[in-house]
Amino acid sequence: MIIPRPRELAFLGGSVAFHPDLVRHAPPDASLGDEGYRLDVGPSGIRVTPGGRAGRFYGLQTLAQFGAAVPYGTIEDRPLFGWRGVMLDVARHFMPKTFLLRLIDLLAEHKLNILHLHLTDDQGWRLEIERYPRLTEVGGRRGGGPAPSGDEPRFYTREDVREIVAYAAERFVTIVPEIEMPGHAQAAIAAYPELGNHPSRRLEVWSGWGISEHVLNLEESTVAFCQNVLDEVMDLFPGPYVHVGGDECPPGEWERSPRALRRLSELGLAGPSEACRWFVGRMAEHLARHGRRTICWDEPDREPTPGTTVMVWREEDALPDRSDIILAPHTRTYLDYYSSDAPGQPPAQPGVVTLADAYGFTPDPGVRGVQCQLWTEYMPTPEQVEYMAFPRLCAFAEVAWGSPGDYPDFLRRLDPHLARLAARGVRVGPLIP
Ligand code: ACM
């Protein structure tokens, strides 16, 4: 459960006033699953039986949500999905480390266990790479003319990443890094023009939104560059997954480049439409050699690259029939869309995902996981991210845990939950049922 349903628990009548001294920790019961737990609450106190370490943590989260009075009863609880993710785009707008730590706390409180950081895009490169310092020196700041004084590149240092990863691990959250390629890579090409299809041309880190036509070239040296970047990424992020993007890669530059066309023919590829899949495959092979699993976004016209887990962002009714996928349908999980069609809202991505849409997401229980997305073109600040995330993230969290129920009941439980978040300074957007 994410937001408790006290009425379900209170079948014995009565409640116990919460005090940490009243909590007894029973030995683990593996049958509950690593993330599962059982709470037994009665006149003599509270017993937490965890499945594993994460289960103990989640049992205590549930107790904390009951507040001062924990109702008598027993609850056995475990998640439906092993991947319960939130993606935050820190490329379009950089988010300070302090905010990431706060967001990790909020995720953990909602029993979410993946923070996927979209670290690079056309508009920014936000991760220090020692071997290629210009990625952040140039890519850490958007183009569009001379920088105002004091406009320093903004990115996470290696030390920042180690702190974020460790903080997350203590809260059972895994950080999944995304390095986007071969499209959505204009910031990298601005830093190292030899990565592009016109190495003599100087590009800026893009200051517009959308899909840049400038993509990585197909040279072996560019493959090696990206694999070297991934080596540093693997060193910094110990989790099993690395995301390499792979979405929205316009083939126009390759179609018009004699060099790219020659390279396609050397590689035996039928045409530019196969190049993106090939590029992602080269990264997947490299990551697999180092024991990591590659994730990429799905693309409508492309067969998934073998050996990758696909993150599916298409319409819900166009989802592939596969189990090794993470569902992120934009119609349910893009929290950068407006939350209603009411006038007067701050600018957001065109599209609407209401709270009811988010709660009504019914993912196939056979998939690997589910994820909601916070793209930040229209979220310049942490305040705006929180405003867009909440309350829809609470609905998503119940879906991801596998405990959604009746929507009116959710709304009743949500009210006091949002009041608790707001009291702690979380900037909660409007509740529009
Ligand atoms: C995406 O929204 N391009 C993954």
DSSP secondary structure string, 82-116? SEEEEEEETTTS---HHHHHHHHHHHHHTT--EEE
Q: How many CB atoms lie within 10 A of CB 400?
A: 31
Is pLDDT larger for residue 11 or for residue 161? 161
Pocket of ligand 1 (CB under 6 A): 247-248, 297, 313
Mutate to test the pocket of ligand 1, among 118, 180, 247 (most ligand atoms within 8 A of CB): 247
Q: Is pLDDT above 60 for 9?
A: no
Residue 274 confidence (pLDDT) above 80: yes
**pLDDT attached to residue 326:** 96
pTM score: 0.96
Asked if residue 232 has pLDDT above 80, the reply is: yes
**Residue 72 corresponds to which tokens in the numbers above?**
């008598």
pLDDT per residue over 69-84, tens digit each?
888 999 999 999 999 9
Mean of pLDDT values over 204-214: 95
Q: In the chain, what are the domains?
A: 8-77 (3.30.379.10), 83-423 (3.20.20.80)
The model's confidence at residue 142, banded by pLDDT at 50, 70 and 90, is: confident
From the alpha carbon of 334, which atom of ligand 1 is closest? 2
Higher-pLDDT residue of 366 and 322 is 366
- Confidence category of residue 26, pLDDT binned at 50, 70, 90: very high
Rounded to an integer, what distance in angstroms lies between the CA atom of residue 403 and that of residue 408?
A: 14
| Cis bond before residue 182 (omega within 30° of 0) | yes
- Mean pLDDT score across all residues of the chain: 93
Residues 400-417 have a mean pLDDT of: 91
Q: Which tokens in the block code for residue 4?
A: 């408790």
- Residue range 59-72: mean pLDDT, rounded: 88
Report the pLDDT averaged over residues 216-236: 98
pLDDT category of residue 6 using cuts at 50, 70 and 90: low
Asked whether residue 432 carries a pLDDT value surpassing 90, the answer given is no
pLDDT(11) > 70: no
- Which residue carries 């990565």 as its tokens? 195
**CA dist., res. 293 & res. 308, Å (int):** 7
What average pLDDT does this structure show over 39-46?
92
Nearest CA residue ID for atom 3, ligand 1: 247
Nearby residues of 19 by Cβ (< 8 Å), 6 or more positions away: none
Active-site choice (248, 255, 285, 409): 248
